[in-house]
A and B are shown apart, each in its own frame.
Chain A
Amino acid sequence: MSPVLAGILVIGGLIILFIVAYILNHRTPKPKGCENLKPDCGACHIENCAIRKKDEEK
């Protein structure tokens, strides 16, 4: 098998695995009492962090 084809297959396979895991994870309901968990971001100064932005939007 050529390295280019092998690379495409390996990367493609991993991307598909990630997408499937992401969708399944988001479809799995959160346990009771965990719906509004908040991270303690007070000391972290990374402004563009996705978790921080989501927390600020709420």
Chain B
Amino acid sequence: MLAEYISIAFGFIFISNVLLSQFLGICSFIGVSTKRSNAIGMSLSVIGVMLIAAIVSWVIYNLILVPLDIAFLYLIVFILVIAFLVQLLEMILKKYIPGLYKSLGIYLPLITTNCAILGVAVNATTKLNYNFGETVVYALAIGIGYLLVMVMFSSIRERIASYPIPKPFKGVAIALIIAGMMALAFKGLAGVI
């Protein structure tokens, strides 16, 4: 069982990375990666919401939707669950952890529309048919993979901002070229497990 968890974690952090291999959450990947501090804040918010959303979605899917024979409604249900969780999380941060709200609060509404969160909930329950433990490891691995790539990507973007890049490649163009090279580098790890 432990070997399976390690395999899931390694596979989804490095090889099938949510950003570089599955191409989910690309909006925030390009949009919130100009500064490393913003990238870390966004990634931490995504990890938190992703983990809670995956757990709640798994419980609702397996304990309510499947027994009641309404599993076909999973997409609407997961969207509502994520939207509800984001509102709840924002409220809790505002009231009890204002310091964390100051650094993460601005990214919370963006998470509602982040397809990586919905993708994890859908994949874990309907596509990969993971059990509860595997779903938790899967959601954490995807979140850590997101954090890893965001930190690397934002660090590179911060450094190249001061480099003399030709005008047509400035901004998003060079960012996409870097993202492609990073995807190739991560793909090189395929076959390790």
Count residues on chain A whose CB falls below 8 Å from chain B CBs: 33
Contact B68 A6 (CB under 8 A): yes
For residues 86 through 127 of chain B, which have their beta carbon under 8 Å from a beta carbon of chain A?
Answer: 87-88, 90-91, 94-95, 98, 101-102, 105-107, 109-110
For A34, the chain B residues whose CB sits under 8 A away are 94, 98, 101-102, 105
B172 close to A6 (CB less than 8 A): no
Partner of B84 from the list A1, A18, A43, A46 (CB cut-off 8 Å) is A18
Expressed in whole angstroms, the minimum distance between the Cβ of B186 and any Cβ of chain A is 22
Q: Which secondary structure dominates chain A's binding surface? A: loop
B residues less than 8 Å from A41 (CB atoms): 31
Complex Cα distance A25/B94, Å? 9
User: Which of B2-10, B11-19, B33-41, B134-142 sits within the interface?
Assistant: B33-41
Contact status B87-A22, CB under 8 Å = yes
Contacts of A25 in B (CB 8 A): 87-88, 90-91, 94
Known contacts A21-B91, A22-B87; is A39 also within 8 Å of B107 by CB? yes
Q: Which residues of A contact B70 (CB under 8 A)?
A: 3, 6-7, 10
Per-residue CB contact flags for chain B residues 19-51 toward chain A (1 = under 8 Å, else 0) read 000000001001111110010000000000000
